[in-house]
Amino acid sequence: MRILHVLPGLDPGGMEKLVIELTADAARRGDNVAVASGPGAWVSKIALAGGAHVPLPATSRTSPIKMMAAAALLALGIRRLRPDIVHSHNVRATVVARAALAAARHRAVLMPTLHGLHPDDYAAAGRTLRRMVPRVIACAPSVARSLEAAGVQRCRIDIITNGAVLEPAGRTRREELRQRLRLGPEPLVLGVGRLVEQKNWPAFIVAASRVDGPSFAVAGDGPLRPALEDLARRAGRRVRFLGPVDDIAALVGLSSCVVSTSSWEGLPLAVLEALSLGAPVVATAVDGVTDLVPAEAALLVPPHDPTAIATAVSRILADADLARRLSKSALAAASAWHPGQMLELYRNAYRAASDDQFLSV
């Protein structure tokens, strides 16, 4: 089978990690797999996973010219690769892939996965997907509900929950990372994710100013980093911004608590990965979290409430029994989002696609 993934870029993120996992799985099965994307720090991971990379220009949903340029280059790649399945990731990639298939005059199955959007964007996404494809894969139940509310019939939506399990890091790896990042001996409260508005890092920074004793750190990068670092300085320099950290398992292993302050989530991969390592977690009770995380596996708090976040963090740090109970429940819950299940469901979807259950263009 020849599979071509299409996504806007390859900077670190949950969608990008999924594409790399799907690429590696297809390559292990002997499929011919390629990934077409804009630039990003993870482009080199495609070759390591066993796939080929088709470079596209960066796109913007507000720039039709950039979208057309990406579609033209993608059409050239399609003519060369002759894929059986074009697996697009999110709406912009689906629009580009549909235009490229038409330009290449190549008949293939177009299979879109929606990885979660800002709540205000679902109405437009629903209109676009209804026109372009008869079926769409949602990465989580909350995404499926939002698509249905946007007018996509439930019978046209399949749910394949993204896998998010990490193997724990040994003591040597953890201590090497501690030295490299110059982390102190005090308890560490960790946030992991892109530095974008969705993650509501100001709430993390304010909460940090209200908890005495531990150090606070954020692993990740993004366009808001300068503004967030300035806010952290003005709030008392309680939060360090570590930038991208490759060994998240080791960093979580060094942490006493992992915190997610997101305003919304389709599927919170960083939270699910932390839970899979048995980390005590504090997370905002938004749809993507409450769908998958049992109440006993984490302390869930209202979004946009730094006081509630600070109180929950303080409870975990002060109560070793609570931390152990959360860790035990988190490890038990993690079996529900194992990557092996996700990969098998995508293999089944590819097989179903060969029976024209998705749009063939």
CA distance 319 to 301: 18
All structural domains of the chain, each given as residue ranges with its CATH number in brackets, are: 2-163+339-360 (3.40.50.2000), 171-336 (3.40.50.2000)
Burial class (CB in 10 A: 0-12, 13-18, 19+), 45: buried
- Coil vs helix vs strand at 309: helix
- Coil vs helix vs strand at 61: coil
The pLDDT value recorded for residue 191 is 98
Per-residue pLDDT tens digits of the chain, which is 361 residues long: 999 999 999 998 889 999 999 999 999 999 999 999 999 999 999 999 999 999 999 887 778 888 999 999 999 999 999 999 999 999 999 999 999 999 999 999 999 999 989 999 999 999 999 999 989 999 999 999 999 999 999 999 999 998 889 999 999 999 999 999 999 999 999 999 999 999 999 999 999 999 999 999 999 999 999 999 999 999 999 999 999 998 999 999 999 999 999 999 988 899 999 999 999 999 999 988 999 999 999 999 999 999 999 999 999 999 999 999 999 999 999 988 889 999 999 999 998 887 764 555 5
- Coil vs helix vs strand at 300: strand
* Other CB atoms within 10 A of residue 148 CB: 17
Residue 105 identity: R
CA distance 109 to 86: 6
CA distance 199 to 202: 9
The pLDDT value recorded for residue 61 is 72
Residue 260 token pair: 């997610």
- Coil vs helix vs strand at 218: strand
Pairing of strands 299-301, 85-89: unpaired
The pLDDT value recorded for residue 329 is 97
The pLDDT value recorded for residue 354 is 74
| Contacts by residues 56-64 (CB-CB < 8 Å, ≥ 24 positions apart) | 56/96, 58/8, 58/9, 59/8, 59/92, 59/96, 61/91, 61/92
The pLDDT value recorded for residue 14 is 86
The pLDDT value recorded for residue 356 is 62
Q: Is residue 188 within 8 Å of residue 215, measured between CB atoms?
A: yes
CA distance 332 to 124: 38
The radius of gyration of the chain from alpha carbons, rounded to an integer in Å, stands at 21
- Coil vs helix vs strand at 358: coil
Residue 51 token pair: 């796939």
- The DSSP secondary-structure symbol of 7 reads E
The pLDDT value recorded for residue 94 is 97
CA distance 69 to 300: 44
CA distance 328 to 334: 10
Q: Is residue 323 within 8 Å of residue 280, measured between CB atoms?
A: yes
The pLDDT value recorded for residue 12 is 87
